[in-house]
Amino acid sequence: MSRLSFWWDQPDQYDWITTFLRRRGLLRSAQRIVAVVTASSALVPLSALLSQRQSSVRAVGIGGLAAVFTVGMTIVWLTRWPTRRQSQAIAVTGVLIIGGFSLVQPTGALAALACTATAVTGGYIAFFHQPRILLFNAAVAVAITTTAALRLGHEADIAATAATFWMTLFLNLSVPLAIWGMSRAMGQYAQRSEQDSLTGLLNRRAFADAVSIRVAYPPPAHTHLAVVMVDLDDFKRINDTHGHLAGDHALRAVADLLRHHVPADAAICRAGGEEFLVALTCTGSDVGPLAARVCAAVAGLSPRVTASVGTASAELHLLSGHDDIGFLAELITIADNAMYAAKRRGGNQAHHGAIL
């Protein structure tokens, strides 16, 4: 049950894949690829409408809806990259249309052939979205494949019906599961490449990507982006006095402390050496209480180490239409200057920088 629960609770990958493609200049190419696949799918209902001279009203209606939907989605993919919720809605609608299209086919053979299209929607869902939607696709695939096989049983021999049923079902289940496994493996590899090897926190590049996602999809009540810079005071003393293993232990302890004290959706990175960065969206500009808690918690570590903490914040609407990476760099600079102001005052304290 634990493995099933783990699989069921796997997060949606759409946002991080979108950010990954955008950062590497591949988003437009991905749009074209999906548009070509969608446009090709439009040929199926169009050819069915043109080739079947005595189609039922339901068949014409579902076929026309499928053609309009696929042509419309081709235009969407050529002009923009949908949001995560829009992508989920597109996938679910596509699955339902495929199901309806299969059910209204005049013969069991055509109905079974139409069932294979859920392998395409399943592959898309497996790559981008969570297992719950993939399970919905699988349920629809099993239902329409079973219905098509029962119809085909009255038109062909049992051997042909059984072979068609199992081959269609195998295609609809194995392709999405294979894509899901490969996409998760790729995601884990990408995640490891974005982590600091000592602390397990994000590195600077991954930190910027994570902040971009949080800025693009903040909780409704959150109005500000805040950055907290944490720099350990006189860290060289720990390495010189207790050895580098003790220093590494202290860095890991600070990383665990940050994970514990900052909100769960905050982005945390080891900026380098003994410096750490935290970015979070929040309901106001004042992150002083959080900075004070972090400062006090670091001072309680053993071997004893203290931290100088600097903060900066900005209203989220200021990022609209701007280069979010450049804006983040500006906030980091402000927080860094505030941190050095705290260090000049003796360390083991927080200093608040500008609010933009």
CATH number at residue 323: 3.30.70.270
Asked, for residue 199, whether it belongs to a domain, the answer is: no
Structure tokens at 341: 């102001």
Of 193, 219, 252, the last residue of a domain is 193
pLDDT for residue 356: 61
Same domain assignment for residues 185 and 214 = no
Same domain assignment for residues 213 and 269 = yes
Structure tokens at 122: 């399943």
This prediction has a pTM of: 0.65
Contacts of 119 (CB under 8 A, 6+ apart): 141, 171, 172, 175, 176
Looking at 56-60, 192-196, 286-290, which range is the least confident one?
192-196
Same domain assignment for residues 218 and 144 = no
Phi, psi of 246 (to 5 degrees): -65, -35
What proportion of the chain, given as a percentage, has pLDDT over 90?
36
pLDDT for residue 9: 67
Asked, for residue 135, whether it belongs to a domain, the answer is: yes
Of 254, 355, 273, 243, which Cα lies nearest the Cα of 310? Answer: 355
Asked, for residue 145, whether it belongs to a domain, the answer is: yes
pLDDT for 321 beyond 60: no
Bridge partners (DSSP) listed for residue 346: none
Asked, for residue 222, whether it belongs to a domain, the answer is: yes
Same domain assignment for residues 298 and 327 = yes
Same domain assignment for residues 130 and 8 = yes
Of 172, 193, 214, the last residue of a domain is 193
Same domain assignment for residues 179 and 269 = no
Same domain assignment for residues 96 and 188 = yes
Looking at 4-13, 86-95, 116-125, 195-204, which range is the least confident one?
4-13
When pLDDT is averaged across residues 338-350 and rounded to a whole number, the result is: 90
pLDDT digits over 149-175, tens only?
999 988 888 888 899 899 999 999 999
Asked, for residue 347, whether it belongs to a domain, the answer is: yes
Same domain assignment for residues 294 and 347 = yes
Instruction: Using alpha carbons only, give the angle 307, 279, 19 rounded to the nearest 5 degrees.
Output: 140
Asked, for residue 198, whether it belongs to a domain, the answer is: no
Same domain assignment for residues 20 and 104 = yes
Of 160, 193, 226, the last residue of a domain is 193
pLDDT for residue 41: 86
Asked, for residue 331, whether it belongs to a domain, the answer is: yes
Asked, for residue 259, whether it belongs to a domain, the answer is: yes
Name the one residue in this structure whose structure tokens are 């869902």.
125
Overall domain count for the chain: 2
Q: Are 111 and 144 in contact (CB under 8 A)?
A: yes
Same domain assignment for residues 162 and 298 = no
Distances, alpha carbon 68 to alpha carbons 43, 46, 64, 85, 213, in Å: 11, 9, 6, 21, 32
Q: At what angle do helices 84-103 and 27-51 cross, to 10 degrees?
A: 20
Same domain assignment for residues 102 and 185 = yes
pLDDT digits over 192-231, tens only?
667 888 888 888 888 888 888 788 778 888 888 899 999 9
* Residues 147, 144: Cα–Cα separation, whole Å: 5
Same domain assignment for residues 187 and 264 = no
Which residue range forms the structural domain that includes residue 112? 2-193
Q: Are 111 and 148 in contact (CB under 8 A)?
A: yes
